Structure 1
Amino acid sequence: MRSDDLLTSVFPDQAACLENVVGERDVPSHPLVDQTLDDCLHDAMDSATWLALLHRIEQGQVRLIARDLPAPSPLAMEILNAHPYAFLDDAPLEERRTQAVRNRRWTDPSSPDDLGALDAKAIADVLAEAWPRVRNADEMHEALMALGCVTQTEALQGNGAAERDNGTAMAALTFQPGDEPALNGAWTPWLHALAASGRAFLCETAPAVGAPASGTGLWVPVERLPQFRLVYPGADRTGFPEGTSPNNTGVPDEDSADDALAGLLHARLSGLGPVTPEVLAAPLSLSLPTVHAALARLEAQGAVLRGRFTPSATADEWCDRHLLARIHRYTIRRLRRDIEPVERQDFMRFLLEWQHLTPDTRLQGPDAVFEAVAQLEGFDAAAAAWEGQLLPARVTDYSPSWLDDLCRAGKVVWTRLAGQANATGGPVRSTPIVLLPRRHLAVWTTLPSLAGDPEISPRAEKVHAALRRHGAMFFDELVTDARLLPTELENALGELVSAGLVNADSFAGLRALLLPATQRISPGKRRGRGGFRPATMDEAGRWAALRKAGAPSSVDVDSADAVTALTPAAQDPSRQPAHTRRLRTDPATLEHIAHVLLRRYGVVFWRILEREPDWLPPWRDLLQVFHRMEARGEIRGGRFVGGLSGEQFALPEAIPLLRGIRKRPLDGIWVAVSAADPVNLVGTVLPGDKVPSLATNRLVFKDGLPVATLIGGDVTVTPSLSAEDHAAVAIALQSRR
């Protein structure tokens, strides 16, 4: 009721009856209406690209080509599978023609081979359902009509003919008394009865040129006699009177042998499931070229699909599109049914172990640093938090020299991906920095940036130009080339780091910039905590300019203006959002980010992205990638964490760990982490108020639940903790590892 009242007060014409609205509806200028229109135009739909495409078509920049496809195109699929309210008529959903076109995964042009990841049990179940279950002569006639014909071998096997070579067989059948067929389920007595009554006949086929003789006849319903005369003009028909031509057969009349053969093969495929052309042609005594031509004809009509569907397939198979859609649904349903969702507390227990934050799962040794960096790839954290808290919390006895060695070896790189639009100073301890495997740096720099080119000072521009002109340079070389004092060069490098334009070979370069200027210039022989001497600019190695992706195309910019004009706020510049057009992310980059998120969390859902930086692609873009990965069998989709809405996806190796955590009793493990850590999910996944993701704030977990927080120097403890637990919390909050 409240929502209806709010809609009436905000948008009266929307709630009014159409008969009472005169002329066009007046769209009010209200924040809720403006935001709804903006979400519909830019989030639910990509109207900007649509308008840009129409402009390009109108200007002759895009050429339209008509093609007959075996399946609907991605654009047509959106229309065919629209929600019921998108249609003007009131036909029931189950009666719509579009429901027969459930083939999202095999119309995706970026994954044409995804159909190989179908479950063998799902294939067997669908075959058991597709093969006729005959109990009397009338059902035998219906089976003949559905399958087109039945071979002698299939007639002897009867209801058990759906058994496949992989050992899967049809479920046991039950019959009413008196319906049991003779010969242990064989169809032969019923077929002879149909032949005696003139409803079927045995067709002895002559093998085509190049086809091996099958050695068996085909049982054919009399209604398909015209079809078989076209396919087998010289066949010997036993048990059927010459000159008789049935009327009103119910089978479409074919004008040519090609149409007749395509209709026969389509009927056979409706009961056989995924088969190779050889298996299809041999019992029918047809040549392979003839069968291939007929299957291609059916493929062009969208009736059958080609691929390697069974797990052991070594050659292309063909399958009826409806059976294939059902196999795919059964595969996804079975995989998702195997998983029982865990509570959010158990998910946090799993995540703490997955992130190597519990005492038993922490990593050890210099090589473990790269493993930790790979799991945290692309995570935006404060510069001081990386070596102060994130890495020491995951690697036992962490040493800064281990990270320096990885950077110097070219395995790890540090940078700021989303630099400041106006970088007026150097980095501070809270500056967001990411650590990446260097081989993936090019992928991350292709992310579209909405900030544009940052504004930097003349000195910083001078240093940046030198690095672009000469390539990587040491600090002393930059001092000579840029003709700047060391202090001036340090400030210029700090400004370029804040803008995300340069980085150094070693993490020592960033470490030195975070130090006060006096310590940076004259470190002396003073040692820091743990005996590690503070870094100097001379130890940073070479400084280099980062290669960024190209600027967005003019089409994207123009389309943004076109869509903005559709909103009521278009005429008021003060009410227009700063960026109304979301730039498109490369599909390969999207898939890489999806893999990164899965490695980081094990299980991903839309609320996880609230802890990720704003410059990551939105969930709606990643969701399409996750669907493709699930269809390929790389990940699992389902309900893994209870109490959360939306789709969820998990790595296969994470699911057994989740199950184990659910069965394991609570062990009272204390884990203290920085609020800048990716496991800070309080207020998003876990209930409670959000803890600001600052390096100085901390959280303490016990058995996966937050029991204490340190925010701005104020400690908040759960009231249910005992006095002994209060002492343990105080120790955990002071610890940095």
Structure 2
Amino acid sequence: GGLPGGDGWVSLYLADTAPLLMPEPAEITLTPAHQAVLDALGGGGALFFRTLSDRVNRETTTTDADLVTAVWDLVWAGHLTNDTLAPLRAALGSGRPTHRSKTTRRGRPVLPSRTGPPTVAGRWWPLPERETKTTLRSHALAEALLERYGIVIRGAVAAERAPGGFSAVYRVLRAFEESGRCRRGYFVEGLGAAQFALPGAVDRLRALRPTATADDLSALWETPGPGRSPENRALVLAAADPANPYGAALPWPGRDEEVASGHKPGRKAGALVVLVEGRLALYVERGGRTLLTWDDGPEVLRPAVDALALAVREGVLGKLTVERADGESINDSPLAAALESAGFHPTPRGLRLRS
């Protein structure tokens, strides 16, 4: 679904399970342009933007700008998809924050390009019809949650915004338990009694007990990717990423009164978290100007900041300028030294690092 500021929620599905797992399309007011796009794509197949425009304009006169808006309205509503992520990157990259006024430039009229704007590159086609049988959809969702989380609890289901919430999934998980497809138990303390897990996840969780060896613990980590190195075990994630347990399966950790500020962490679009050995170390507000910390020890701050800097250098985050940390100027924060050692440079606005 779409969000203010040219942003939105994006979900990825495998083709064979998409009809079972995709939510129903959001309700929007269909204009003639919306309906013309749906009619043009209703015959099956995928169309490039210019071909789509030609078909739409057989029935009605629509400018490229209006057609682009109609296409993205249908995308965010869950009606259309594309065969590449290029238009998504272009659309998000051209997003405008809601508090910034839009300026109008006068000049020569823009003529239609041969292929269309970058925000509608690639081929477009309608998403498949959703499965209408509730039982099949519930079973598919329960299986997907078990495979995704290993241990399914109420908070994880809530973070997924699953239709019907945890109560709808609970009945299916209980049936899975009775048939031996999953286990129910009090696997993680403090997360409630209604916990369902795959047998392999339970075995892996047991390896995290204090009796586990260092080799056992290191085997639990996946191959390092962007924003993560094998030396520091730090990971940079979007705050709303299902892989981030905080604010969903786990509550946000409390912060010392001395460093508490008006800013609060949340699973917000555009915000980031940095985890060190699975524990929350940094929270980066949308835009990167404000950071929150949970530990000022160098053994935690250094790997967290290094992972954040690595994500910037690899182009995952783009330019990052930190102005405040824990409610105070970044220049007065213990975090400043760690940021500078990671390559951030002082500027009049704060500490900056470019990709």
TM-score, normalised with respect to structure 1: 0.32
Cα distance in 2 between the residues matched to 1:621 and 1:515:
37
One-letter amino acid of the structure 2 residue matched with residue 715 of structure 1: L
Q: Does 1:540 align with 2:122?
A: yes
Partner of 1:643: 190
Residue-by-residue CA offset, 1:328-378 (whole Å, 9 max, x unaligned): xxxxxxxxxxxxxxxxxxxxxxxxxxxxxxxxxxxxxxxxxxxxxxxxxxx
1:681 equivalent among 238, 245, 250: 245
Q: What residue ranges of structure 1 are gaps of 5+ in the alignment?
A: 1-418, 421-425, 524-534, 552-584
2:156 equivalent among 604, 608, 615: 608
Cα distance in 1 between the residues matched to 2:45 and 2:292:
51
Q: Does 1:440 align with 2:17?
A: yes
Does the 8 Å CA contact 2:276/2:300 hold for their aligned counterparts?
no
Cα distance in 2 between the residues matched to 1:459 and 1:607:
40
Residue-by-residue CA offset, 1:55-110 (whole Å, 9 max, x unaligned): xxxxxxxxxxxxxxxxxxxxxxxxxxxxxxxxxxxxxxxxxxxxxxxxxxxxxxxx
2:271 equivalent among 697, 705, 721: 697
Does the 8 Å CA contact 2:151/2:197 hold for their aligned counterparts?
yes
Cα distance, 1:630–1:725 mapped onto 2, change above 3 Å: closer
2:202 equivalent among 640, 655, 676: 655
Partner of 1:498: 76
Query: Residues 122-133 of structure 1: matches in 2 within 5 Å?
Result: none
Query: Residues 510-521 of structure 1: matches in 2 within 5 Å?
Result: 510-516=88-94
- Larger proportion of helix: 1
Q: SS where residue 235 of structure 2 aligns? A: strand
Does the 8 Å CA contact 1:638/1:647 hold for their aligned counterparts?
yes
Q: Does 1:732 align with 2:314?
A: no
One-letter amino acid of the structure 2 residue matched with residue 703 of structure 1: E
Residue-by-residue CA offset, 1:171-223 (whole Å, 9 max, x unaligned): xxxxxxxxxxxxxxxxxxxxxxxxxxxxxxxxxxxxxxxxxxxxxxxxxxxxx
Cα distance in 1 between the residues matched to 2:247 and 2:19:
34
Aligned length: 263
Does the 8 Å CA contact 2:281/2:301 hold for their aligned counterparts?
no
Q: SS where residue 653 of structure 1 aligns? A: helix
Does the 8 Å CA contact 2:236/2:275 hold for their aligned counterparts?
yes
Q: Give identity over the alignment, percent.
A: 26
Cα distance in 2 between the residues matched to 1:687 and 1:550:
36
1:595 equivalent among 122, 128, 143: 143
Query: Residues 662-673 of structure 1: matches in 2 within 5 Å?
Result: 662=209, 663-665=212-214, 669-673=233-237
Q: Which has the larger radius of gyration?
A: 1
Cα distance in 2 between the residues matched to 1:697 and 1:490:
27
Partner of 2:35: 461
Does the 8 Å CA contact 1:698/1:733 hold for their aligned counterparts?
no
Cα deviation, residue 486, structure 1: 3.1
Does the 8 Å CA contact 2:183/2:197 hold for their aligned counterparts?
yes
Query: Residues 406-425 of structure 1: matches in 2 within 5 Å?
Result: 419=1
Does the 8 Å CA contact 2:21/2:140 hold for their aligned counterparts?
no
One-letter amino acid of the structure 1 residue matched with residue 158 of structure 2: E
One-letter amino acid of the structure 1 residue matched with residue 297 of structure 2: L
TM-score, normalised with respect to structure 2: 0.64
Query: Residues 89-100 of structure 1: matches in 2 within 5 Å?
Result: none
Does the 8 Å CA contact 2:158/2:166 hold for their aligned counterparts?
no
